[in-house]
Structure 1
Amino acid sequence: MSLAVLAAGCGKEERALAEERPVQPGAAVAAPGPADPPLVATEMAVPGDRPAFVVTGPGGACPRMIALHGMCGHGLGFVQAFQGAAREHGGVLGLQGDVPCGADGVFTKYSPDPEEQDARIRKALGACGGEAEDLVVIGYSQGAYVAERLAERWPERYSRLVLLGAPTTPSAARLRDIRGAVMISGEFDAKYRMKEGAGGLLAAKIPAIYREMPGAHHGEMPEAERLMDDALDWLDANARPRP
């Protein structure tokens, strides 16, 4: 089983060129912009906390998205599953859980206090020179649950969501002030939760859409690059404007 599958999952069940143009004589030539670093998720030290895993945005910018893995998952594998789509949409910071699931501490889960997770996110973004405002949060399973609570409390900070396989149906009442959301379920997961979540948001006039991962059980992310690129493109095109 790949690390990406383990990263998304929740406990034992989820572990099973630009076009070239000739330069005219005498024409001004623009100075080249900063080169993009290699497309790879790298470990970044966070003072007083576990390392985070980062795919930078274009030109090496600090990410504009946060990824929260599932219970007893792994942050590196999660962001690696869609690192190409993440780079195209501003980069992603994978926050590890703060509670170890075993003696070795490799796999983790999140403590449920949203204030604690908010503080950890802000500290991690600060470590790479970023700001915690108008972020996209991508959450899988327990990570989706945490993302919903963050957006309920600080909708201006966690303004757009991509929720995958949430353990409870996302609530329009909690998410009434967000800019938009994409709800995703595996074909063989409890699809009704994410379908009902998207329907509830739409009924409340909050931009939302449901997407499905073909052939996927809970904890699996087939075609993650394509699916996430589609989800993030949809948010770019359909989310409510910033207040």
Structure 2
Amino acid sequence: MPPDLPIGEFSHLETSEGPAEVLHAPASVRRALVYLHGACGDPRAAEAFEQTLSRYATLVAVYGERSCGSGHPGRFYWNGRAEPLMHRIDAALAAVAAQRGGLLDTRQPLLFGYSQGSEVAQLLTERWPERFPEVILGGVPSTPSVKSLAKVRSVAIVGGSREFLTPMRTGEWLLTHNRVRARLFILAGAKHGSFGRHAEADLGEVFDWLLSAPDAAP
């Protein structure tokens, strides 16, 4: 990889299909992770656990399509159109792989959707389950869809101890009872929109579990 490529810290990237925020992992880590922010949320929210993340994957965060307006400059929300979003994701992954001299596996990236982004993530898994076998759904506002997640390998559901957890608990139960490998992780002290004081350790546990399935992506 280029010696001046920032490792373990966020950088902005303009791609042929729009902007992305990137957190590069070391060259030895080839896995990619696509992050979908919440409505008017921060594409760089993973700064809360960036040291942990860099051990597992290079994060690529694309932006929602609709502006949140002058009250939230630079923030966006999603329009729910899966195919154009998938096109932008592929363009962003290709651009990041080029930055890394090809040292990025873009075939089956991890998918992490937060709040509204978790609902958009489910649109992608229903349409392209073979592309996103391992999924993290954070701050889930409504019960995760068994139909949308039936063909994925593993689903980690992440919620804060200070937010409404009923949809997440219900989702874990429904997925598990429909033979989808799923687990709810509760972040101590975290409210909606945050990952809590122990984000590095807590998210490390999430990634360890997600990637511990016998057939998980290497």
Check if 1:140 corresponds to 2:114.
Answer: yes
Bigger-Rg structure (1/2): 1
Give 1:188 shift: 2.1
What amino acid sits opposite 1:41 in the alignment? Answer: F
Q: In 2, Cα distance between the equivalents of 1:202 and 1:240? A: 18
| 1:28-59 deviation per Cα after TM superposition (whole angstroms, max 9, x unaligned) | xxxxx99785321111111241x211112221
Which of 84, 94, 97 aligns to 1:126? It is 94
Aligned residue for 1:102, secondary structure, equals coil
Aligned residue for 2:107, secondary structure, equals coil
Aligned residue for 1:137, secondary structure, equals strand
The TM-score, its normalising length taken from structure 1, stands at 0.78
Q: What count of residue pairs does the alignment treat as equivalent?
A: 208
After the TM superposition, which of the residue ranges 126-135 and 221-230 deviates more from structure 2?
A: 126-135
The TM-score, its normalising length taken from structure 2, stands at 0.87
Give 1:162 shift: 0.8
Give 1:72 shift: 0.5
Give 1:119 shift: 1.1
Check if 1:185 corresponds to 2:154.
Answer: no
Give 1:86 shift: 1.6
What amino acid sits opposite 1:111 in the alignment? Answer: N
Aligned residue for 2:158, secondary structure, equals strand
Unaligned runs of 5+ in 1: 1-32
Contact 1:162 1:184 in 2 (8 A): yes
In structure 1, the residue matched to 2:212 is 237
In structure 2, the residue matched to 1:53 is 21
Unaligned runs of 5+ in 2: 98-103
What amino acid sits opposite 1:101 in the alignment? Answer: C
Moved over 3 A (4+): 33-38, 60-63, 239-242
Change beyond 3 A, Cα 1:107–1:97:
same
Check if 1:153 corresponds to 2:127.
Answer: yes
| 1:120-171 deviation per Cα after TM superposition (whole angstroms, max 9, x unaligned) | 1111111122564212111110011111111111001111111111121002
Aligned-residue identity in percent:
28
Change beyond 3 A, Cα 1:152–1:114:
same
Contact 1:180 1:239 in 2 (8 A): no
Q: Is the strand fraction higher in 1 or 2?
A: 2
Alignment of 1:200-215 (within 5 A): 200-215=174-189
In structure 2, the residue matched to 1:163 is 137
Q: In 2, Cα distance between the equivalents of 1:143 and 1:63? A: 20
Contact 1:62 1:128 in 2 (8 A): no
Alignment RMSD, CA only? 2.2
What amino acid sits opposite 2:202 in the alignment? Answer: L
